[in-house]
């Protein structure tokens, strides 16, 4: 009966560790200038400035590309 308890402990530990990695990855790109962000293209991407719907202007910034996602894409087809 010790195996299920150990398995649950491993699952909980793994979930906590994986959750802790995400903020660290995001912090890697945060605050980078455009040139530095573009040189680190394997992990970071530059988001150009834009104006939100409520009129607030958002400056360009560097962000983490995030993890791999499934390649399911949705597109509209014209009839």
Q: Is 58 inside any structural domain? A: yes
Which tens digit of pLDDT belongs to each residue from 11-62? 555 544 444 435 666 688 999 999 999 998 889 999 999 999 999 999 999 9
Question: How much of the chain is helix, strand and coil, in % rounded to 5?
Answer: 45, 15, 40
Q: Give the pLDDT score at 52.
A: 97
- Per the structure, how many domains does the chain have? 1
User: Which structural domain range is residue 31 located in?
Assistant: 2-64
Q: Is 44 inside any structural domain? A: yes
Distance of CA 50 to the CA centre of its chain: 20
DSSP letters of 9-35?
Answer: HHHHHHHHHHHHHHHHHHHHHTT--HH
Strands 57-58 vs 44-47: parallel, antiparallel or unpaired? unpaired
Q: Is 75 inside any structural domain? A: no
Q: Give the pLDDT score at 18.
A: 45
Q: Give the pLDDT score at 28.
A: 86
Q: Is 78 inside any structural domain? A: no
Q: Give the pLDDT score at 78.
A: 55
């Amino acid at each position: 009966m010790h195996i299920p308890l150990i398995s649950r402990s491993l699952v909980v530990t793994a979930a906590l560790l994986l959750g802790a990695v995400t903020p660290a990855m995001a912090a890697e790109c945060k605050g980078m200038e455009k040139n530095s962000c573009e040189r680190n293209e394997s992990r970071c991407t530059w988001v150009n400035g834009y104006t939100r719907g409520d009129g607030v202007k958002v400056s360009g910034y560097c962000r983490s590309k995030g993890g791999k996602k499934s390649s399911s894409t949705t597109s509209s087809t014209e009839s």
